[in-house]
């Protein structure tokens, strides 16, 4: 019996050992472990942040972000000229770009792709709201007719859903850019089967939903080929699994590490741990409508709360690499001011302000908090910390946990919440996306901050949006941030960090809010 | 003929059961005070009443609940499970995509659980109250009690991360391409491709998640097999056989085990049905693209067609397995077949 047991054990061990080589060897390809949120491969419908991973690899856009702080830079475009009134933008397109099919990238493709995104009326279509129509001037020139001047226009053109697709092939698969595309376009199934019709350096060659993507080099790519012939993006929802797979070299990049797994990786040979601030921002909001906000609608109370919050403590909860934006423009975006100094906290001054506002003993107030967890940190954790901080100035928070889909979203959208904590991530990488926090903006109204309550500040939104001179726009953005750093119903409390792990043999791996990670900058180290 | 009648009767019961499940889950998904709009639209789009209205119209959420239900039932009669709100693909296609992964893993797990569960049960019964019995009982209690996610992380940590003797997550190593889908079961499809190395790789990827999933059912089977064997062993006919000098192993395998297996079969059936429903945590930790992951994503996005589809699939699994188990009762014990 013992002999048999030993034999079985030995055979099993030998089989496992023999197969070990098979699961270790992956060649020059790079495997990325990621918890993605991708639900479609149709560029005109993609809105989920991780869709940028494959869109950036397989498609070109007119503009791109090489660095979020530098603003959008030309990619397929060679230049953009605005008319004097800012209502038309003429863009010239490079003439050497070709799709993976070998078809040249033309102005017709640009018009088709962008008008299709607009007319599909899907999640990302709002990005095209500013575009009325597009005229093809010649094979390599298009004219965008806008309904309002828009200083973030080129940033919007860098958005992943504005990917330029091979219109000849797309039309064969039922794609259309007609006004009724929302009901007549039938190309989604074709894309979702694993097709990519772009001019980027890679092509999707295999797609298993919720399992993996395989991207292989586009042989017709007109640019310089990367040293990485193949990417596999493997769905890995668990941070521990990503960490273990990275150390075993089963994956070369772990995109969603947690703070715990980062500490486990520290000191591991051949693995680098990277930390980057994201554009995801947590903020406290206080309703300006007294019937909803009660005492927190008073500007003096708002400032007292701003002073009472322990920003350094919040950064500790959220993790290394986090910071506190001074105002609504996250650090790293064009025109952002430096982060708030965490030592800004001044409990004594906060108490004085509270007394001036008529609350020398503080007050008790409901604090609904939703169950969302941006970048893996539950908002309820921040609520508990805020309750602790505000108790030091006599404010008692009654935290009420509400599910996002169980009523919180509706109340938040309708501006019915008095005092709460939420998060915001810009839809496109441009400070203009943050202007929604101003009076009369989408987020502003959720806090009862109507335009007429501060017309001067509300007007700044229009001025910044229509300011086509970049330097002048940056100046206005700075002015807006200085005005709102200690004023208004919003208190940005933290900018979340992002942790990634990467094998030391790779270079150029960086987190990017625009693309999650820009696969075009990654190379094998020489 | 009797068996055919029995199967037809079971199919009718099953159809009624599925209708009941679909109705209850449909009503529950509508009664829960949650809003799919909030789960599926971006923060920006939530503020646009036109987009919100278009979303409700697209998914039929603007219609009265009874009308939504009738539309759903009509679809169901045509085997149309509706379209997933999350992925915009037919739910049936989604289930066809993820079920083979769960089936393969569950099959592997139930085989391990059954083989080892019965083996441990026999050992435990034969060596009653010995240290071996105590050890087996401790293992079975641990199997039933240890949280699945903890065991999954523990096995992965030691056998993959620390010792490096087992493959990590996923269904296949990155050095292989996934086999062309014939059955959807990677091991079999690899063999059909004539690639035994790939088949072994796929099989080795089943070991850790399979053992984790097997632990619970194995514990139950061990305990059931032990207690039933002990009961059978104490009967007169076994005592008589033993008095005649029959060897213990032969006695158990030829005379006692058959009679003790019926309750074990019930446990195996229930365990297999449970596994086929998908196990979210194990599938998440092992990046296994199965029904559990689909169910979890459907719930987080309040994707009611997806949720109902999974519920029907689970009910169907249980129905089919129970029918098979009932038929097997007759095979194991002819008295059941003849209605004695």
Reported as a single tens digit per residue, the pLDDT across A176-212 is 999 999 889 999 989 998 899 999 999 999 988 888 8
Partner B contacted by A88 (CB < 8 A): no
Give chain B positions within 8 Å (CB) of A208: 178, 289
Pairing of the two strands A253-257 and A30-34: parallel
What local confidence, expressed as pLDDT, does residue A177 receive? 96
Partner B contacted by A247 (CB < 8 A): yes
Res B159 pLDDT > 50: yes
Residue with tokens 């597009």: A134
**Dist CA B295 CA B300 (whole Å):** 9
Rg of chain B over Cα atoms, rounded to whole angstroms, equals: 24
Contact A241 B168 (CB under 8 A): yes
Partner B contacted by A330 (CB < 8 A): no
Contact B201 A23 (CB under 8 A): yes
Give chain A positions within 8 Å (CB) of B148: none
Q: Find out whether A319 and A381 touch, Cβ atoms under 8 Å.
A: no
Whether B252 is in a domain gets the answer: yes
Q: What is the CATH number of the domain that holds B210?
A: 1.10.3720.10
Contact A406 B293 (CB under 8 A): no
Whether B22 is in a domain gets the answer: no
Of B97, B156, B174, the CB nearest to A232: B174
What local confidence, expressed as pLDDT, does residue B278 receive? 64
Range of the domain at B225: 91-337
Q: Which of A:142-181 have CB within 8 Å of B? A: none
ipTM, interface predicted TM-score of the complex:
0.77
Mutate to test the interface with B, among A11, A32, A34, A39 (most CBs of B within 10 A): A39
B277-301 pLDDT, tens per residue? Answer: 768 889 989 989 999 989 988 988 8
Instruction: Calculate the alpha carbon distances from A149 to A86, A456, A463 in Å.
Output: 5, 20, 10
Q: Which of A:107-126 have CB within 8 Å of B? A: 121, 123, 126
Pairing of the two strands A141-146 and A131-138: antiparallel
Of residues B6 and A205, more confidently modeled: A205
SS3 A237: coil
Structure tokens at B302: 């309040």
Contact A209 B289 (CB under 8 A): yes
Contact B168 A234 (CB under 8 A): no
Whether B309 is in a domain gets the answer: yes
Partner B contacted by A391 (CB < 8 A): no
Contact B287 A237 (CB under 8 A): yes
Find, in chain B, the residue whose alpha carbon is nearest to that of A436: B44
Taking one residue from A and the other from B, the number of pairs with CB-CB distance under 8 angstroms is 139
CA distance B256 to chain A (A): 22
Give chain B positions within 8 Å (CB) of A410: 35, 38
**Dist CA B29 CA A20 (whole Å):** 46
Contact B98 A210 (CB under 8 A): yes
Confidence of residue B57 (pLDDT cuts 50, 70, 90): confident
CATH fold of the domain at A35-235: D-Maltodextrin-Binding Protein; domain 2 (3.40.190)
Find, in chain B, the residue whose alpha carbon is nearest to that of A427: B44
Confidence of residue B79 (pLDDT cuts 50, 70, 90): confident
The domain limits of chain A are 35-235, 278-496
Find, in chain B, the residue whose alpha carbon is nearest to that of A239: B285
Give chain A positions within 8 Å (CB) of B160: 244, 248
First to last CA, chain B: 18
Of A245, A413, A445, the CB nearest to B168: A245
Give chain A positions within 8 Å (CB) of B173: 22-23, 250
Give chain B positions within 8 Å (CB) of A47: 42
Contact A403 B287 (CB under 8 A): no
Contact B289 A235 (CB under 8 A): yes
Whether B44 is in a domain gets the answer: no
Residues of chain A short of pLDDT 50, as ranges, are 1, 5, 8, 11, 13-25
Contact A206 B178 (CB under 8 A): yes
Structure tokens at A456: 């001067």
H/E run at residue A318 = helix A311-318
Contact B174 A15 (CB under 8 A): no
Res B305 pLDDT > 70: yes
Of A25, A235, A409, the CB nearest to B287: A235
CA distance A391 to chain B (A): 31
Res B144 pLDDT > 90: no
Find, in chain A, the residue whose alpha carbon is nearest to that of B205: A23
Instruction: Find the helix packing angle between A311-318 and A379-391, rounded to 10°.
Output: 160
What local confidence, expressed as pLDDT, does residue A321 receive? 87
Give chain B positions within 8 Å (CB) of A238: 284-285, 287
Q: Find out whether A167 and A113 touch, Cβ atoms under 8 Å.
A: yes
CA distance A513 to chain B (A): 17
Q: Domain spanning A278-496: which superfamily?
A: Dipeptide-binding Protein; Domain 3 (3.10.105.10)
Partner B contacted by A241 (CB < 8 A): yes
Res B241 pLDDT > 90: no
Q: Which residues contact A424 (CB under 8 A, 6 or more apart)?
A: A280, A281, A283, A437, A443, B43
Domains A35-235 and A278-496 share a fold: no
SS3 A491: strand
In our burial notation (b when 16+ CB lie closer than 10 A, e otherwise), range A139-168 reads ebbbbbebeebbbbbbbbbbbbbbbbbbbe
DSSP A112-136: HHHHHHHHTTSGGGGGGTTEEEEEE
Give chain B positions within 8 Å (CB) of A8: none
Contact A126 B48 (CB under 8 A): yes
Q: Find out whether A103 and A169 touch, Cβ atoms under 8 Å.
A: yes
Domain count, chain B: 1
Give chain A positions within 8 Å (CB) of B156: 240-241, 244
Instruction: Calculate the alpha carbon distances from A107 to A62, A95, A205, B332 in Å.
Output: 11, 10, 27, 74
**Of A518, A499, A511, the residue nearest A246 (C-alpha):** A499
Contact B43 A250 (CB under 8 A): no
**Dist CA A181 CA B322 (whole Å):** 48
């Amino acid at each position: 019996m013992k002999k048999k047991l030993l034999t079985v054990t030995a055979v099993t061990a030998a089989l496992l050992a023999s197969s070990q080589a098979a699961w270790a060897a992956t060649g020059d390809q790079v495997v990325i472990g990621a918890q993605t949120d991708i639900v479609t491969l149709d560029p005109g419908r993609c809105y989920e942040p991780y869709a940028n991973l494959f869109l950036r690899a397989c498609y070109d856009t007119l503009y791109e972000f090489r660095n979020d702080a530098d603003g959008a830079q030309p990619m397929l475009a060679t230049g953009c000229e605005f008319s004097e009134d800012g209502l038309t933008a003429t863009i010239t397109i490079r003439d050497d770009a070709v799709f993976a099919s070998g078809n040249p990238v033309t102005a017709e493709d640009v018009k088709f792709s962008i008008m299709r995104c607009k007319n599909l009326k899907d999640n990302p279509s709002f990005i095209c709201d500013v575009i009325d129509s597009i005229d093809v001037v010649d094979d390599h020139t298009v004219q965008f007719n806008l309904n309002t001047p828009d200083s973030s226009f080129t940033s919007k053109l860098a958005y992943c859903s504005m990917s330029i697709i091979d219109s000849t092939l797309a039309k064969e698969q039922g794609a259309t850019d007609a006004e009724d595309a929302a009901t007549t376009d039938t190309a989604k199934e074709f894309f979702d089967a694993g097709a990519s019709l772009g001019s980027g350096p890679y092509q999707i060659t295999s797609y298993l939903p919720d399992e993996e993507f395989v991207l292989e080099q586009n042989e017709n790519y007109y640019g310089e080929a990367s040293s990485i012939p193949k990417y596999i993006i493997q769905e890995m929802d668990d941070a521990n699994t990503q960490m273990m797979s990275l150390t075993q070299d089963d994956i070369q990049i772990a995109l969603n590490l947690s703070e715990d797994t980062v500490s486990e990786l520290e000191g591991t040979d051949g693995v680098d741990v990277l930390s980057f601030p994201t554009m995801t921002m947590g903020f406290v909001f206080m309703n300006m409508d007294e019937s909803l906000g009660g005492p927190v609608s008073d500007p003096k109370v708002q400032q007292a709360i701003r002073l009472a919050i322990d920003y350094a403590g919040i950064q500790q909860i959220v993790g290394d690499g986090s910071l506190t934006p001074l105002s609504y423009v996250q650090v790293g975006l064009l025109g952002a001011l430096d982060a708030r100094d965490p030592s800004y906290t001044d409990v004594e001054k906060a108490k004085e302000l509270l007394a001036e506002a008529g609350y020398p003993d503080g007050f008790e107030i409901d604090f609904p908090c939703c169950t969302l967890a941006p970048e893996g940190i539950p908002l309820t954790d921040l609520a508990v910390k805020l309750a602790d901080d505000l108790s030091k100035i006599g404010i008692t928070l009654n935290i009420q946990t509400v599910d996002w889909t169980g009523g919180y979203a509706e109340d938040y959208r309708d501006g019915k919440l008095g005092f709460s904590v939420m998060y915001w991530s810009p839809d496109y990488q441009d400070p203009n996306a943050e202007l929604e926090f101003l009076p009369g903006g989408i987020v502003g109204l959720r806090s009862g901050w109507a335009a007429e309550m501060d017309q001067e500040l509300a007007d700044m939104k229009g001025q910044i949006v229509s300011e086509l001179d970049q330097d002048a726009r940056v100046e206005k953005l700075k002015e807006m941030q200085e005005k709102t750093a200690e004023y208004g119903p919003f208190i940005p409390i933290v900018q979340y960090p992002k942790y990634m792990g990467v094998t030391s043999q790779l270079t150029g791996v960086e987190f990017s809010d625009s693309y999650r990670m820009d696969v075009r900058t990654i190379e094998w180290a020489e | 003929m009797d068996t055919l009648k029995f199967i037809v009767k079971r199919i009718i019961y099953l159809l009624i059961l599925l209708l009941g499940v679909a109705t209850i889950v449909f009503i529950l998904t509508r009664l829960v005070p949650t809003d799919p709009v909030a789960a599926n639209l971006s923060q920006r789009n939530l503020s646009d009443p036109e987009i919100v209205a278009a979303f409700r119209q697209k998914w039929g959420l603007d219609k009265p609940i009874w009308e939504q239900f009738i539309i759903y039932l009509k679809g169901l009669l045509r085997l149309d499970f509706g379209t997933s709100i999350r992925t915009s693909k037919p739910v049936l296609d989604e289930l066809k995509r993820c079920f083979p992964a769960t089936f393969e893993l569950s099959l592997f797990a139930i085989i391990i659980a059954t083989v080892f569960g019965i083996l441990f049960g026999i050992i435990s019964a034969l060596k009653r109250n010995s240290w071996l019995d105590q050890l087996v009982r401790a293992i079975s209690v641990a199997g039933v009690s240890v949280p699945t996610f903890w065991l999954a992380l523990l096995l992965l940590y030691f056998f993959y991360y620390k010792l490096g003797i087992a493959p990590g997550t996923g269904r296949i190593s990155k050095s292989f391409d996934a086999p062309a889908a014939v059955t959807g079961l990677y091991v079999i499809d690899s063999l059909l491709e004539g690639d035994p190395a790939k088949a072994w790789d796929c099989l080795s990827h089943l070991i850790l998640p399979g053992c984790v999933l097997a632990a619970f059912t194995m514990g139950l089977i061990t305990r059931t097999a032990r207690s039933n064997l002990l009961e059978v062993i104490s009967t007169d006919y076994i005592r008589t056989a033993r008095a005649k000098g029959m060897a213990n192993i032969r006695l158990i395998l030829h005379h006692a085990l058959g009679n003790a297996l019926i309750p074990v079969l019930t446990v195996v059936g229930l365990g297999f049905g449970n596994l086929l429903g998908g196990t979210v945590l194990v599938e998440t930790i092992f990046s296994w693209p199965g029904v559990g992951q689909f169910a979890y994503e459907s719930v987080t996005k309040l994707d009611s067609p997806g949720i109902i589809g999974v519920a029907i699939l689970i009910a169907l699994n249980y129905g089919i397995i129970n029918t098979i188990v009932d038929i097997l009762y007759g095979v194991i014990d002819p008295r059941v077949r003849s209605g004695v």
